[in-house]
Each structure stands twice: as structure tokens, then as C-alpha cells.
Amino acid sequence: MKMHRRFLGTAALLALMAPLVPAHAQGVIKIGEVNSYKAQPAFLEPYKKGMELAVEEINAAGGLNGKKVELIVRDDNANPGDAVRAAEELISREKVDVLTGTFLSNIGLALTDFAKQKKFFFLASEPLTNKIVWENGNRYTFRLRASTHMQVAMLVPEAAAMKKKRWAVVYPNYEYGQSAVASFKTLMKAAQPDIEFVAEQATPLGRVDAGSVVQALQDAKPDAVFNVLFGADLARFVREGNTRGLFKGREVVSLLTGEPEYLEPLRDEAPNGWLVTGYPWYGIQTPEHKAFFLAYYAKFKENPKLGSVVGYAAIKSLGEGIKKAKSTDTEKLITAFRGLTVMTPFGKATYRPQDHQSTMGAFVGRTKNEGGKGVMVDYRYVDGASVQPSDAEVKKLRPAEQ
């Protein structure tokens, strides 16, 4: 009887201890992801679905190095402090192996610094500010999506060819918007030395006073407008601009506006002829995109958005990096990611050793209101490698390796 009680006591103790066994020992690789889901649902709901599809495919193929993948997501409330606290909790309590995510550039920068302080691997999937891989870059942080510099560089040749001298700019007044406008001014001045910037409207993110912004731009009488607003801010700006005739007879160059997350909700207010970066999912016929599209549609019964592509490619990148490293050790992952080539729905992308920036590109084209629906036309894919600065320039921009 004593032996029986002792056996039960040992079994109970082991049962209590089981949850404390590290994830690695249980054959699971945990990916911790932090993002602004409540604040930016238009992009991040499809993004999360893209991640889920990638995890499902990886696990169906046997996992990574014989281990299943588990995705653990946290909302950062669009607040850098909350993002850092969420990342800390994912590492200390959930024992995640790697970190990924972030949408807003100021939050991406906060986790870039966190990764440096904690010496922990971080793949910034979506934030676009140049600083993530340049001024604030570090050995622990890599970035998937094309930066503001890269996307602006895709637009500048056609923008300069418009031969418009007087430009106005409008942007959300935080890191992403500031970075985009700085890149546009620098690259346009190089391409068109006589350019003048006659008006600048920096608006609070998510709270644009579209009437006063449009009026200020009209008063400046620009020949062309460079817009960086997105989401609900973009919709208000377009509506007010259409009402007041701001866009009539003027060229508009607009970052991100061709993304279905932002173009489709404009419906019959969608503008004609804007030069944009975006994602024309309905016309991409490459084998890798067809495979992604069919798998995504089969799982979710809806068409993908650009967020879907980014979330999917982020998890696939981590998967390839972990397989190459044969480990989730941070230093081994850094070595594996430098020069890592992955297949994305947009084709092959390589993480540059020089600045940890991926070469995944974007589509450039014009907007068209087609029967009350906004689409991209006359588009082409621009490889990210073709719009990145030289090694010498990167060396000046990026701090020395630590």
C-alpha cells in the first residue's frame, strides 16, 4: 500500500512538472509575433491568415528540423512600450525561440532596439522605415518588406518623367511617413534638381482633418502631389480631394495606395491614374504566386491582400532560416539569414548580408476606377535588389557591427 501511494505521489509530481519542460524538449519551435491587430485590422487580419497558412504548410511537411511550429501572437495596442512588454513576456514566459512582426515603424524600431539589448533574433516583417536596417540597424534584426527608400526609388523614375516642378507632400506624422517623405525629397532632387516643394501637410495618424489638409494643398497650387496616407486617413483624403477637385489636372504619386487593403475600400471613389505601389493579386501569373493564391483561397475562401503575402513570407523566411541553421540559436540564425534566399509569392528574395534587408520587391502601376472598384493597371514588378543602395552607401548609413 505504501509503495502504491509512493508511486501515485511520484506520478502526480511528474504531471505537475510536465508543463515546465522547455518547448524544445517537447519538439516544438515557438515563433513569437507582436503586432497592432486592433489598430490596423485591414492589413493585419489578412497578415495573420498568411502566417497561419505558412505554419500549416510547414507542419504538414514535417515541421522544422523534426519539430512542429507553434505561432504565439500578441497585440501591441499600437504602443511601443506595450510592444516591448509583449516581447519580453513572449521570451520569458512563453519561451519563444524567435520574434517577428510589427506594422507601425515606431514600434518596429522599439523592437529592433529590444532585440539588440536582449541579443535575440527578430525578423521585422512589415515596418518600412529605413532606420530599421540603416541608422538603427543591428546584428539581431532582419527586415522582410521593401523599405520606404526602396518603394520610393521604384516610383521616382516615373515621377521625375512627369516633369512637374511644384510638388506638395502629405503624410502621417510618425516614423513611416517622415521616412517616406525624406526619401522622396532626396531622390527627386537628385533626379530633378529644379524641383520645388511648395506645401507639406503632416497629419496625426488615424486622425487626418481632410478638409483643412486638402484646402492647404489647393492654396499652394502644386503641379503634383506625393501622398503617403493609408487606411482610413487615405479614404478621407480621397473623398475630400474628389469633392474639392484637388486631383483634377494634377499628377498624384502615392505610396501603398495600390494595396487592396486600401484601394478596394475606396469603391466608386477610387481615383484614376495615380502612380502607386501595390499588389494586383488578380493579374500575377507566376507559378509561385498561383500556388500561394490557390492555397490561400482554399483555406480562407477569400482573395489574399498584401498583408497575406507579408505574413506568409515572414514565416516561410523563418522556416528556411531555421532549417539552414539547424537550430534556433540566435548566432546560428544570424549566420544563416545573411545571404539566405527564400521563395515568396513574389519570387525569390535574398536577405542581404550588408544590411539584413530582404530583396522582396513590389508592384508599380496606375490606379483605375473600374466599374466602381479600384484596381491597378499597367503594373510591373520591381525587384527590390534593383532599388537598394550600394554597399559603400550602406556602410556609411549603418553603424559598425557589434
Per-residue pLDDT of 254-310, as tens digits, reads: 999 999 999 999 999 999 999 999 999 999 999 999 999 999 999 999 999 999 999
Is the pLDDT reported for residue 4 higher than 80?
A: no
CA torsion sign for 246, 147, 51, 74 is negative
Q: 25 falls in which pLDDT band (50, 70, 90)?
A: very low
Place of cell 556609411: 396
Least confident of 11-15, 217-221, 293-297, 379-383: 11-15
C-alpha cell at 349: 528574395
Cα 379 to the chain's mean position, in Å?
20
Is the pLDDT reported for residue 11 higher than 80?
A: no
Q: 26 falls in which pLDDT band (50, 70, 90)?
A: low
C-alpha cell at 270: 477610387
Q: How far apart are CA 170 and CA 250, in angstroms?
A: 15
CB 100 within 8 A of CB 32: yes
The SS3 assignment for 375 reads: strand
Domains of the chain: 26-146+285-360 (3.40.50.2300), 149-279+363-387 (3.40.50.2300)
CB 146 within 8 A of CB 352: no
Indicate the pTM of the whole model. Answer: 0.92
Query: What does the pLDDT read at residue 130?
Result: 96
Is the pLDDT reported for residue 24 higher than 50?
A: no
C-alpha cell at 2: 505504501
List Cβ neighbours of 112 (8 Å cut-off, separation of 6 or more). 122, 124, 131, 132, 136, 137, 138, 141
Q: 402 falls in which pLDDT band (50, 70, 90)?
A: low
Place of cell 499600437: 78
How much is the average pLDDT of 7-24? 41
Q: How far apart are CA 53 and CA 315, in angstroms?
A: 9
To the nearest whole percent, how much of the chain has pLDDT over 90?
92
Residue 85 φ/ψ, nearest 5 degrees: -65, -40
Tell me, what DSSP letter sits at residue 302? S
Is the pLDDT reported for residue 396 higher than 90?
A: yes
To the nearest whole percent, how much of the chain has pLDDT over 70?
93
C-alpha cell at 312: 506568409
Query: What does the pLDDT read at residue 400?
Result: 80
How much is the average pLDDT of 340-345? 98
